[in-house]
Chain A
Amino acid sequence: MLLTRLKAGGPAIAKQGILIAFIVFMIVFALMSDRFLTTANIMSVFRQATIIGVIALGVTIVVIGGNLDLSVGSMLSFATVLVVDLHDKIGPELAIPVMVAATLCLGAINGFLIGILRLNSLIVTLGMLSAIQGLVLIYSGGQNVDIADQSGTWFAIFGRGAIFGIATPIIIFLGLALIFHVIMTTMPFGRRVHAVGGNPTASVFSGIPRSRIVFMTYLISALCVAVAAIILGSRVMGSQNNVGQGYELQVLAAVILGGTSLLGGSGSILRTVLGVLMLAFIQNGLILMGQPYYTQWLVTWAVIIIAVWLDVAAKRGRLFSPIA
């Protein structure tokens, strides 16, 4: 019975599965804790989610293009250490463009190796993960960096400021999400990324410059990391040299939860935002319920597998895999 129901109504439900799960979690948490559904709490969760969120936007585009980017965590460490360190040396006006340029260079290396040389993206970015982490440590000499004059610098507005009562990181995150959503859904570039991810060979025969498109997706990913680094550096006013360690997989978890297929060719920016927020609210809700912070990992385990399972099941019309 379950199977026939899945065939009939399944795809529609599974399509909105992440939204339904999101609402269910919100209701459960709201019932379990009276502090959960307050403006202050929701705003603070939003703000915490922006770092992973901004990076996840870029990674979503890379994944839609049929590749992976595991180097974003190290790259975040690199960019944050660089911008914080240069802030005191050459001032924030120069530190930000220099950092963005350096991060884009790393993105360009990724893009060159994967887009132009057509090397496997998982291994290249795995190698870059380790190489960039080494670079950060060499640059900082293993020391943590911080900004001396924390109250006098205008650099603080990116992480600590607010515009019309809404924290700047949230505005940056949602603004970027909106821009990328428009690019991916209405502009030729977005369609080309989808085409390259969906069927690389066909895209080349259709005259799409596959190499250049893949290259661009990695530049976008690096740009997102740079923006996240500005927010993070500005909020913390300092940086450990391994601050981004492990981010790559959390980001990927959010992207997967948002329903973006690792096969490439399908995915949506807005759903990634939903995936990011869901992980953040699960974390926050469980803590408000008095659970230790690590229970979120167990819940995330179950949520990711069930979400992707339902997605896969809806596509093949059967709950269980036909493999013997």
Chain B
Amino acid sequence: MANLTQIPLVRWLMRNPIWGFVLIVFIFFSFAADNFFSGQNVMNILVQTSTIGLIALGMTLVMINGNIDLSVGATLALAAAFAVDVQSWAMFATWGNWQILPAVCIALLVGILMGAINGFIVWKTGVDAFIVTLGAMLGIRGLVFVYTGEQSFYAMNFAYSDFSFLTIGPFPVLAVIFAVAVIAVHLLLSRTVHGRNTYAVGGNREAAVNAGIRVGPHMMVNFMLIGFLAALSGVLLSTQMGAATPNLGRDYELWVITAVVLGGTKLTGGKGDIIGTLGGVLAIGILRNGMNLMQVPAFYVLVILGSILIAVLFLDKRFNRPADGGLRL
């Protein structure tokens, strides 16, 4: 055992237990499920996880900041509703396939706006992000229902609903978008001033203020980023379905938080990275996909995921002792 911990890979896996788990379930399903181990299925997993994965990238930033965003599911639904509905506005009737462009732009702007509202309230009132976004979760869902009038919108433009079937070379376009977003947010977090500030603000807010970081606007930017990513996820989800329903994205906030926490990001802030989050997202994706292929009822995935979440938390506590402190909302 003592020798084992000398190996860099083992030590890396001990710090990122989720990747060990991803590896194990991947190998397990490769043997257990017939059609699991194929390039096509790996692409499927990436497409399936892109929805939750995109939001999880933003959630990582917000959670490293020491905040949380519970309103992402509602933001996703609002953006999806705009993306599908704006295409059918009369003013774009003659635009042909170009009518998708303003629709997607407006949807993404709506997402950024919702994030900005959350961030601004957190900044100016000093109310905890948990409470602010809990309220916004209800309120933005209300906006969705007001906007849609409880109706589902269907995309009339086939170019829109066919978008999710496009491929770039062998890669599905949704997987490519997800991969690009992963790399972009990873670089943002690890190579830019904004990324370093994100850790600083989450690690010690007082010290960050004293160091001259404008903490309020900084947090607001991160909320706008997660709003943007939630909206992007909503747009992509609505292209996959060819429709936007008012209940879209219910409970997504819980899945996203699960993925991010599985990836080792601390709720207390100051710790976490995109590589871990990617592991958490893939763990959920592979489990769902693999058990689906084995025709295990979806119920069991819930039990297993819940147990893994608690197990990862327990292992993390055993191996990374210094990060004690518990929840301080």
Residues of chain A at the chain B interface (Cβ within 8 Å) = 66-68, 113, 117-124, 126-135, 137-138, 142, 200, 245-246, 249, 252-253, 256, 262-263, 292, 294-298, 300-302, 304-305, 308-309, 312-313, 316, 320-324
Tell me if B191 counts as interface (CB < 8 A to partner A): no
B209-A123 in contact (CB<8A)? no
B257-A305 in contact (CB<8A)? no
B216-A324 in contact (CB<8A)? yes
B215-A305 in contact (CB<8A)? no
Q: A134-B306, A300-B135, A324-B214 are in contact. Are A126 and B142 (CB under 8 A)?
A: no
Instruction: Give the residue of B136, B139, B215, B306 whose beta carbon is less than 8 angstroms from that of A129.
Output: B306
Q: A67-B327, A123-B261, A300-B135 are in contact. Are A321 and B267 (CB under 8 A)?
A: no
> From residue 297 to 329 of chain B, which have CB atoms closer than 8 A to chain A?
297-310, 313-314, 317, 326-329
User: Shortest Cβ distance from B322 into chain A, in angstroms?
Assistant: 14
Contacts of A262 in B (CB 8 A): 128, 130-131, 329
Nearest opposing residue in chain A for B309, CB measure? A127
Number of B residues contacting the other chain (C-beta, 8 Å)?
Answer: 58
Contacts of B329 in A (CB 8 A): 68, 262-263
Q: Interface-forming stretch among B31-39, B43-51, B119-127?
A: B119-127
Contacts of B301 in A (CB 8 A): 134
User: Shortest Cβ distance from A10 into chain B, in angstroms?
Assistant: 14
Tell me if B258 counts as interface (CB < 8 A to partner A): yes
Contacts of B297 in A (CB 8 A): 137-138, 142
A308-B127 in contact (CB<8A)? yes
Q: A295-B142, A298-B146 are in contact. Are A305 and B310 (CB under 8 A)?
A: no
Nearest opposing residue in chain A for B212, CB measure? A324
Nearest opposing residue in chain A for B326, CB measure? A120
B299-A138 in contact (CB<8A)? yes
A294-B127 in contact (CB<8A)? no
The answer for the CA separation of A252 and B305 in the assembled complex, in Å, is: 23
Instruction: Give me 12 other A-B pairs in contact (C-beta within 8 A), A130-B303, A296-B142 excluded.
Output: A119-B313, A129-B254, A131-B307, A134-B299, A262-B130, A300-B135, A300-B138, A301-B139, A301-B142, A302-B135, A313-B125, A321-B123
